[in-house]
Amino acid sequence: MIEVDNVLERDVTPQLLSAVTLAATTDKPLSAADQVARMRRGVNIVGYDPLWQDPAKARFKPRHFQIVHDGGFSSVRIALMAFRFMNEKNELPAGWFATLDGLVNEALAQKLTVIIDEHDYNACSGDVVGCRSRLMAFWRQVAEHYKDAPGKVVFEILNEPNEAINDLWNDVHAEALAIIRRTNPTRNVIIGPAFWNNVGWLDKLALPKNDRHIIITVHYYLPMTFTHQGANWTPEYANLSGNTWGTPADYAALDKDFDGVQAWAKKNDRPILLGEFGAYEMGPLGSRVKYTAAVARAAEKRGWAWAYWQFDQDFIVYDIDKDQWVEPIRRALIPDRELLS
pLDDT per residue rounded down to tens, the chain (341 residues) = 223 333 233 333 343 444 344 344 446 899 999 999 999 999 999 999 999 999 999 999 999 999 999 999 999 999 999 999 999 999 999 999 999 999 999 999 999 999 999 999 999 999 999 999 999 999 999 999 999 999 999 999 999 999 999 999 999 999 999 999 999 999 999 999 999 999 999 999 999 999 999 999 999 999 999 999 999 999 999 999 999 999 999 999 999 999 999 999 999 999 999 999 999 999 999 999 999 999 999 999 999 999 999 999 999 999 999 999 999 999 999 997 665 44
Contact 174, 208 (CB under 8 A): yes
Contact 107, 39 (CB under 8 A): no
Predicted TM-score (pTM) of the model is: 0.92
160 conformational bin, left if phi > 0, alpha if psi -120 to 50, beta if neither: left
Structural class in CATH, domain 2-338: alpha beta
Any idea where the domains of the chain sit in the sequence? Answer: 2-338
